[in-house]
Structure 1
Amino acid sequence: MPYEPPPELATLSLAQIAELVESRKLPPLDSWSPADQGDSEMRIAADGRWFHQGGEIRRPAMVRAFASLLTRDPEGQHWLVTPVQKLSIAVEDAAFIAVDVRQDGDALAFRLNTDDLVIAGPDHPIHVRGDADNPAIYLSVRHGTEARLNRSTWAQLAEIALAGDGTSVSSQGQSFPLLPA
């Protein structure tokens, strides 16, 4: 069955986005404890491109499949996890890139470079690194992984903040500052 990407965020209501998020069947990584560990010889570049043994993985379906197996441990190491194997993967910055955001009431919905949809809130907080001159904004995705907002998504989020108090955004009752502490 061919992959059908979700519609553009601007055409979806929050209820439709929540339904798409809920309907995505992801592997149960938390229940897998493979004994076999190794190196995947894979790397995710800071711009979100995936590489294997130096060559770029150009098939979006492959990237999407690998991304569904991605986790990050408390030490910051990313892993591709299957029921039988746990393979390290090098990640230059964040595993995902947030490429679009949409505000619907008190919710912010993000689209990632893998077509995943994430609604910011207590389970998916937004946080800032860097300094006031060079802030970097991240969204928690799943299993410890993060998405860095690209420039246009950062600008969209800044517009949302400027329509409010100018320094923060809120989603699902949670407030997120957009300036480094």
Structure 2
Amino acid sequence: MDPIRPDLPDLSQSSLADIARLLADRKLPPVEKWNPAHCGDSDMRIAADGTWFYRGTPLGRPAMMKLFATVLRREPDGSFVLVTPAEKLSITVEDAPFIAVEVTSEGEGEQRTLAFRTNVDDLVIAGPDNPLRLTRAPDGSPRPYLHVRAGLEALVNRPTFYQLADWALDCDPPGLWSKGAWFAFAD
């Protein structure tokens, strides 16, 4: 159990039905409907490792980070903002705004479903609406991303990627199915 969100179970101990129920119950603010005037810069930054900073200092309260994550939005020009009905403030995002830190798998082959938890406790089931994509860093190393919501992505952390890669190597070509969508793990 998460001490900040005790309603979130350990994914490894949860069935897909449990995870789907939690997803259905979670209500996020309707940030896509809010269109206030841009008010300035928030002085906030999300580092490539998922750490949130305010004026150069890491946010020390996970609950505050999770709250801000619920009002994060990606603009059509690719920039990021924190938005409420009354304010819209720019926020710097170095890579992806979230990190996928846990995955669980149910089923095999085309019947497999992958469920992820992010560093801000978003639960995401990979599939046609939430695809996995694999890019390459400048050094050639894999950079896997998961679509979380409305243009916001999570970088899949190394341990979670290794778990996915282990499953993907059982397929020829390497890749994984989730909710009927195929995600290739090879170039």
Deviation at 1:32, TM superposition (A): 0.8
Structure 1 runs of 4+ aligned residues shifted over 3 Å read none
Can you list the C-alpha shifts for 1:128-168, whole angstroms capped at 9, x where unaligned? 11169411000001121100011100001001112233511
Who is 1:62 aligned against? Answer: 64
Long gaps (5+) in structure 2: none
**How many correspondences in the alignment?**
179
Cα 1:139–1:74 shift into 2, 3 Å: same
Tell me, in whole angstroms, the C-alpha distance in 2 between the residues paired with 1:4 and 1:98: 19
- TM-score, normalised on structure 1? 0.93
Listed as ranges, the matches of 1:1-181 within 5 Å are 3-4=5-6, 6-105=8-107, 106-130=112-136, 133-165=140-172, 167-179=174-186, 181=187
Tell me, in whole angstroms, the C-alpha distance in 2 between the residues paired with 1:40 and 1:29: 16
Tell me, in whole angstroms, the C-alpha distance in 2 between the residues paired with 1:73 and 1:36: 12
CA-based RMSD of the aligned residues comes to 1.5
Which amino acid is the alignment partner of residue 77 of structure 1? Answer: S
Long gaps (5+) in structure 1: none
Give the % identical residues.
Answer: 51
Q: Which moved more, 1:125-134 or 1:7-16?
A: 125-134
Can you list the C-alpha shifts for 1:86-108, whole angstroms capped at 9, x where unaligned? 11110111100001111112210
Is the 2:173–2:184 contact (alpha carbons within 8 Å) kept by the matching residues of 1?
Answer: no
SS at match of 1:163: coil
Is the 1:29–1:69 contact (alpha carbons within 8 Å) kept by the matching residues of 2?
Answer: yes
